[in-house]
Amino acid sequence: MRWHATMLAVVLAGGLVGWNVLGLTAPAWAGPPVEAVRKTIDEVIRILDDPAWKKPDRKEERRKLLERTISQRFNYPEMAKRSLGAEWGKHSAEEQNDFAANFQTLLSNTYIGRIEAYSGEKVQYLKELSDGEFAEVYTHVDTGKSMIDINYKLQKISDEWHVYDVVVEGTSLVLNYREQFKRILRKDSFAELSRQLRDKSAHIKAPVPDGSETAKGR
Amino acid sequence: MKDAKLELIVGVFVLVGIAALTYLAVKLGKLEVIGGGKNLEIHAEFDSVAGLKDGATVEIAGVQVGQVKKIWLNGDGERAVVSFSLTPGVKLYGDAIASIKTRGLIGDKYVSLSPGGSQKELPPGGKIRETESGIDFEKAISEFIHGNVK
């Protein structure tokens, strides 16, 4: 009898751990930064999994909804500012806003196609490091073939956590763009950089997937 | 009289020799005996500093601006803390990024800094919040050779 109780406890504990690892419930250590990231990721997955949104005539609408959901969590102006480094301060508020908008379009067009190709990958929340108004959330994405480490860097602005950098497999998105922008600005003007961002965004814009959405490009 | 003069010359020669040796030891050992106090001390936390050693160079745009002073584990014993000593005049800001890079594919590890440009300048003793541990080539190669579990 006692043996059975022990076994039951082990199975239950194992089940709970498995449940947590799959990211299905909030782990006990999860603080507000993890909850913020989880809320957005869960919402994105819910939209992607919803059969109502999979209808071909609603794909364009779904893409807009996804972009809106993501932009509520991602602080694009801060990402643009950090990516531009010292150059940011040299420009007027209008130029900064224009640049941030172009940068948002570029990021959105770069990643939205990959997000739409989602096919049940599991997100695991590993740990959270917080330091005052800054935090880093460590996650693993299990694609079925490989595990990808993705860390989200967040900043608390008026009681809400916003992502300002994403570190994929140890490489920072902000640093990647900062080095590219620096290289372009060494040769060309800021206006030219803005123009290049616009051109690139238009060029890479992924076509809205049609009804016969398959595993292509995954 | 002649002996005294000779002894003096030998004495001076020995002193000059010792001074030269001391200078060489300080230079080769990259110790900071003179002017070390004026350097700017900054630290940063990394997920992993595998391969980085004390005395490794710290660079901005490929120019050496300092060196790694000390590496230790943080309070939780999970992340590595690296302290750098930077030459005076180097300006870093709140959004500065420190990344660990490898010279070539199998070369030495060094720290590359991107100074950033937010309004807040990093004070002496400050901490670089944004860090990048870099891609683990060994892990990538090992996964490539031995294959993944899945």
Domain locations along chain A = 32-204
- State whether residue A75 sits within 8 Å of chain B by CB: no
Is B116 domain-assigned?
yes
Predicted local confidence at residue A201, as pLDDT: 82
Of the partner residues B97, B117, B148, the one whose CB lies closest to the CB of residue A87: B117
Structure tokens at A155: 């900043």
Examine the domain organization and report whether B67 and B23 are in the same domain.
no
Tell me the per-residue pLDDT of B66-106, one tens digit each, with 9 for 90 and over. Answer: 999 999 998 888 899 999 999 988 999 999 999 999 888 77
- Give, to the nearest 10 degrees, the angle between helix A32-49 and helix A93-116: 60
Is B83 domain-assigned?
yes
Is B147 domain-assigned?
no
How many domains does the structure of chain B reveal? 2
Within a 10 A sphere around the Cβ of A139, how many other Cβ atoms?
A: 20
Is B81 domain-assigned?
yes
Q: What is the DSSP string of A162-203?
A: EEEEEEETTEEHHHHHHHHHHHHHHHS-HHHHHHHHHHHHHH
CB contact under 8 A, A88 and B117: yes
CB contact under 8 A, A178 and B114: yes
Is B90 domain-assigned?
yes
Tell me which residues of chain A have a pLDDT lower than 70. 1-28, 206, 208-218
Tell me the per-residue pLDDT of A154-201, one tens digit each, with 9 for 90 and over. Answer: 999 999 999 999 998 888 999 999 999 998 998 999 989 989 988 888
Of the partner residues B115, B129, B134, the one whose CB lies closest to the CB of residue A134: B129
Of the partner residues B47, B133, B150, the one whose CB lies closest to the CB of residue A144: B150
Examine the domain organization and report whether B17 and B46 are in the same domain.
no
Examine the domain organization and report whether B17 and B47 are in the same domain.
no
Is B62 domain-assigned?
yes
Predicted local confidence at residue A216, as pLDDT: 42
Number of C-alpha atoms within 13 angstroms, CB side, residue A122?
Answer: 16
- Give, to the nearest 10 degrees, the angle between helix A190-204 and helix A173-187: 130
- State whether residue A155 sits within 8 Å of chain B by CB: no
Is the predicted ipTM greater than 0.95, yes or no? no
Q: Enumerate the residues of chain B whose CB falls inside 8 A of the CB of residue A172.
A: 97, 99, 130, 132
- State whether residue B32 sits within 8 Å of chain A by CB: no
Cα B71 to Cα B44: distance, rounded to the nearest angstrom: 10
Domain span at B9: 1-31
**What 3-state class would DSSP assign to B105?**
coil
Structure tokens at B29: 């050992």
Helical segments of B1-150, H only: 2-28, 137-146
Predicted local confidence at residue B106, as pLDDT: 77
Predicted local confidence at residue A7, as pLDDT: 45
pLDDT band at B30 (very low <50, low <70, confident <90, very high): low
Fold type of domain A32-204? Nuclear Transport Factor 2; Chain: A, (3.10.450)
Of the partner residues A146, A153, A174, the one whose CB lies closest to the CB of residue B148: A146
Cα A81 to Cα A100: distance, rounded to the nearest angstrom: 8
Predicted local confidence at residue A217, as pLDDT: 39
Query: How many Cβ pairs within 8 Å bridge chains A and B?
Result: 55
Give bridge partners of residue A139 from the DSSP assignment.
A125, A150
Predicted local confidence at residue A28, as pLDDT: 66
- State whether residue B119 sits within 8 Å of chain A by CB: yes
CB contact under 8 A, B117 and A84: yes
